[in-house]
C-alpha cells in the first residue's frame, strides 16, 4: 500500500502525562522533511500542573478504584488534556484550523508487559474541546504484536536527538527511568536502536519525600543534599529481580507501589537513617540502578548521556549519576560518558516527551511505524495510535 506523502509544515500538538504525576506537558510542533529527514521545530510548550486533588485522584486510581471513578477520571482527564492543548496552541499563536492533530499519550493507570496496558484521557473530549482530530492509545498496537508497549520514545531519540558522530544514551528520569542508546547520526536501521526502562526515576525519591516531609518533591535537592547515603541499602536493592531481567523490558508504578515506598523507608530507618538520609539514599539507588543497567545491558559505550525529565532538575541525583558512571568506569576500564542536560542541547526538557508523542502522531498521519521492535520486543513495526476525527462542518 502506498504511504501518504510527508506533510512538510504539518503542525501537531503533543500531550504527555507521565508516571511522576506532576502534570501535563503540551508542545506545539511543526514537522517538516526538507532533506528527507524529519525535523521538529517546537513552536511553544507549556506545563499544566496538577493540583493536589487531581494528583491524589490519579494516585488512588492506580492502586484502588471503582468502575465509576475510573470512568469519571478518564472523562475529567480528557478535559484537562484538552485545556492543556488549547493553552499551548494559544501560546504558539495557532488555531484548530492550523493543527493537523493532537497526539495524546493520556495517563497510564496500569501497564502489564506481556499482556495489556491502559491509558485514560477521553480522546473524544479532547477533540470536542480543541476542535482538532486526536490520535491516542499508542501503546496497545505494539502489545498486540508481541511488544511491551514501552518504551515508545526511542523513535524520537533516533530521529531527532542523535549525536552526529558518536553513540549517545538519552536517559529520561520521570517517575520511571528509561534509556535509549542511539547510533551516530541516528543510524539507518531501526533495529540497532536499543531502549528499555532502567528502573525507578523519581518515583521512590518523590514517594519518600511526600511521606516524610509532606512535600510533593525535593526542590533543588535541599533535603537530599543534607543527608548521607546508606550505601549498604543501595547495594541490597541492586539485587531487585527487575534489574536482573534482560531487555526488552518495561516497568512502572505497578512495581514501585506505596507498599514498596513504605518498605524502603522501614529498611532505611532500621539501618539508622534519618529522614534526610532516606531521601539521599533514594537518589543514590536511582543513580546506581541507571549505572548498573548501562553496564549490564548497553551494547555500546556512549560518548555522552543526555538527561531529561524531572530527575534531571535534581542536582544531587545528577551528581550521583555522574558518580555511578565514574565508579563503573574505574572498575571496568570502559570510557566514562559525559553527563549532559537535554535543556543545554535542544529545548526545554519538560517538553521532550510531549514532542515525542507529537512525532508519533505525525508518523501515524504519514503511515509510518512508530515503534522500535528492538526496544519493545514487538515482532514487527507498526503504525501506532487510534484516530478520533474532528467533527465535519456538516455534523458539528
Report d(CA 372, CA 363) in Å as an integer. 13
Does position 7 have pLDDT exceeding 80, yes or no?
Answer: no
Residue 4 lies in a domain: no
Is 21 annotated among the ligand-binding residues? Answer: yes
| Residues 324, 373 within the same domain | no
Residue 197 lies in a domain: yes
Does position 191 have pLDDT exceeding 60, yes or no?
Answer: no
Residue linked to cell 503511515: 367
Residue 395 lies in a domain: no
CATH code of the domain in which 340 resides = 3.30.420.40
Closest CA to 341 of 299, 303, 312: 312
Does position 254 have pLDDT exceeding 70, yes or no?
Answer: yes
Report d(CA 127, CA 30) in Å as an integer. 19
| Residues 102, 194 within the same domain | no
Does position 396 have pLDDT exceeding 70, yes or no?
Answer: no
DSSP-derived letter for residue 300 is S
Mean pLDDT, the chain, integer? 94
| Residues 93, 140 within the same domain | yes
Decide: helix, strand or coil at residue 109: strand
Closest CA to 15 of 125, 122, 102, 142: 102
DSSP-derived letter for residue 362 is H
Q: Treating both helix axes as pointing N-terminal to C-terminal, what angle do 258-270 and 203-213 enclose, rounded to 10 degrees? A: 70
Is 24 annotated among the ligand-binding residues? Answer: yes
- What band does 27 get if pLDDT is binned at 50, 70 and 90? very high
Predicted local confidence at residue 127, as pLDDT: 98
Share above pLDDT 90 across residues of the chain, in percent, rounded to a whole number: 88
DSSP-derived letter for residue 202 is S
Closest CA to 153 of 114, 201, 116: 201
Does position 125 have pLDDT exceeding 50, yes or no?
Answer: yes
Is 18 annotated among the ligand-binding residues? Answer: yes
| Residues 355, 336 within the same domain | no
DSSP-derived letter for residue 184 is G
Does position 42 have pLDDT exceeding 60, yes or no?
Answer: yes
User: pLDDT for 94-110, tens place per residue?
Assistant: 999 999 999 999 999 99
| Residues 120, 167 within the same domain | no
| Residues 145, 166 within the same domain | no
Is 186 annotated among the ligand-binding residues? Answer: no
| Residues 127, 244 within the same domain | no
Chosen domain end from 345, 360, 378 = 345
Does position 117 have pLDDT exceeding 80, yes or no?
Answer: yes
* Contact partners, residue 239, CB within 8 Å, separation at least 6: none
| Residues 233, 320 within the same domain | yes
Residue 155 lies in a domain: no
Report d(CA 351, CA 26) in Å as an integer. 7
Q: What are phi and psi of 89, to 5 degrees?
A: -65, -40
Residue with the larger pLDDT of the pair 253 and 87? 87
Residue 219 lies in a domain: yes
Predicted local confidence at residue 6, as pLDDT: 57
How many angstroms separate the Cα of 233 from the Cα of each of 25, 228, 270, 283, 321?
34, 12, 10, 12, 17
| Residues 128, 170 within the same domain | no
Report d(CA 199, CA 205) in Å as an integer. 13
Predicted local confidence at residue 1, as pLDDT: 40
What is the number of structural domains in the chain? 2
| Residues 300, 378 within the same domain | no
Residue 329 lies in a domain: yes
Predicted local confidence at residue 5, as pLDDT: 53
Report d(CA 179, CA 183) in Å as an integer. 13
Contact, 15 vs 26, CB < 8 A?
Answer: yes
The average pLDDT across 105-132 equals 95
| Residues 103, 76 within the same domain | yes
Is 19 annotated among the ligand-binding residues? Answer: yes
Altogether, the residues listed in the chain come to a count of 396
Residue 5 lies in a domain: no
Predicted local confidence at residue 22, as pLDDT: 87
Grid coordinates in use for 274? Answer: 534519618
13: Cα separation from own chain's centroid: 17
Does position 190 have pLDDT exceeding 80, yes or no?
Answer: no
Does position 90 have pLDDT exceeding 60, yes or no?
Answer: yes
Residue linked to cell 542536560: 341
Decide: helix, strand or coil at residue 315: helix
Residue linked to cell 538527561: 307
Report d(CA 168, CA 115) in Å as an integer. 31
How many degrees, rounded to 5, is the angle at CA 22 between CA 19 and CA 27? 90
Residue 80 lies in a domain: yes
| Residues 132, 262 within the same domain | no
Report d(CA 241, CA 273) in Å as an integer. 25
Share above pLDDT 70 across residues of the chain, in percent, rounded to a whole number: 96
Q: What are phi and psi of 194, to 5 degrees?
A: -115, 145
Residue linked to cell 507501589: 257
Report d(CA 143, CA 112) in Å as an integer. 10
293: Cα separation from own chain's centroid: 17
Q: Determine how many CB atoms are found less than 10 A away from the CB of residue 299.
A: 9
Does position 395 have pLDDT exceeding 70, yes or no?
Answer: no
Is 25 annotated among the ligand-binding residues? Answer: yes
Q: What's the domain range around 60?
A: 10-150+351-388
Residue with the larger pLDDT of the pair 392 and 28? 28
Report d(CA 137, CA 54) in Å as an integer. 21
- What band does 2 get if pLDDT is binned at 50, 70 and 90? very low
Grid coordinates in use for 55? Answer: 494528583
Amino acid at each position: 500500500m502506498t504511504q501518504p506523502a510527508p506533510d512538510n509544515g504539518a503542525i501537531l500538538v503533543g500531550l504527555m502525562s507521565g508516571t511522576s504525576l506532576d502534570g501535563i506537558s503540551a508542545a506545539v510542533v511543526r514537522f517538516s522533511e526538507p532533506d528527507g529527514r524529519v525535523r521538529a521545530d517546537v513552536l511553544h510548550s507549556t506545563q499544566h500542573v496538577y493540583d493536589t486533588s487531581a494528583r491524589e485522584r490519579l494516585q488512588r486510581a492506580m492502586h484502588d478504584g471503582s468502575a465509576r471513578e475510573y470512568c469519571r477520571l478518564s472523562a475529567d482527564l480528557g478535559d484537562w488534556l484538552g485545556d492543556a492543548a488549547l493553552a499551548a496552541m494559544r501560546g504558539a499563536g495557532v488555531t484548530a484550523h492550523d493543527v493537523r492533530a493532537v497526539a495524546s499519550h493520556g495517563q497510564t493507570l496500569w501497564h502489564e508487559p506481556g499482556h495489556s496496558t491502559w491509558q485514560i484521557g477521553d480522546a473524544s473530549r479532547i477533540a470536542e474541546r480543541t476542535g482538532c482530530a486526536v490520535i491516542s492509545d499508542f501503546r496497545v498496537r505494539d502489545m498486540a504484536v508481541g511488544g511491551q508497549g514501552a518504551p515508545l520514545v526511542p523513535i524520537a531519540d533516533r530521529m531527532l536527538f542523535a549525536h552526529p558522530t558518536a553513540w549517545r544514551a538519552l536517559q529520561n528520569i520521570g517517575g520511571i527511568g528509561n534509556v535509549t542508546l542511539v547510533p551516530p547520526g541516528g543510524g539507518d536501521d531501526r533495529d540497532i536502536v536499543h531502549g528499555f526502562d532502567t528502573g525507578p526515576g523519581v518515583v521512590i525519591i518523590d514517594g519518600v519525600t511526600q511521606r516524610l516531609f509532606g512535600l510533593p518533591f525535593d526542590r533543588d535537592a535541599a533535603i537530599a543534599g543534607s543527608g548521607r547515603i546508606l550505601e549498604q541499602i543501595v547495594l541490597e536493592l541492586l539485587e531487585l529481580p527487575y534489574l536482573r531481567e534482560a531487555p526488552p523490558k518495561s516497568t512502572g508504578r505497578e512495581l514501585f507501589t506505596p507498599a514498596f515506598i513504605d518498605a524502603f523507608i522501614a529498611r532505611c530507618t532500621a539501618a539508622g537513617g534519618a529522614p534526610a538520609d532516606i531521601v539521599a539514599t533514594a537518589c543514590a539507588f536511582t543513580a546506581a540502578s541507571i549505572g548498573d543497567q548501562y553496564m549490564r545491558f548497553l551494547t555500546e559505550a556512549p560518548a555522552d548521556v543526555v538527561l531529561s525529565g524531572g530527575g534531571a532538575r535534581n542536582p544531587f541525583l545528577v551528581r550521583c549519576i555522574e558518580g555511578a558512571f565514574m565508579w563503573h568506569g574505574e572498575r571496568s576500564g570502559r570510557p566514562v560518558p559525559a553527563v549532559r542536560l537535554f535543556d543545554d542541547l535542544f529545548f526545554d526538557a519538560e517538553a521532550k516527551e510531549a514532542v515525542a508523542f507529537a512525532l508519533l502522531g505525525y508518523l501515524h498521519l504519514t503511515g509510518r511505524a512508530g515503534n522500535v521492535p528492538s526496544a519493545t520486543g514487538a515482532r514487527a513495526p507498526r503504525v501506532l495510535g487510534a484516530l478520533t476525527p474532528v467533527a465535519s462542518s456538516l455534523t458539528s
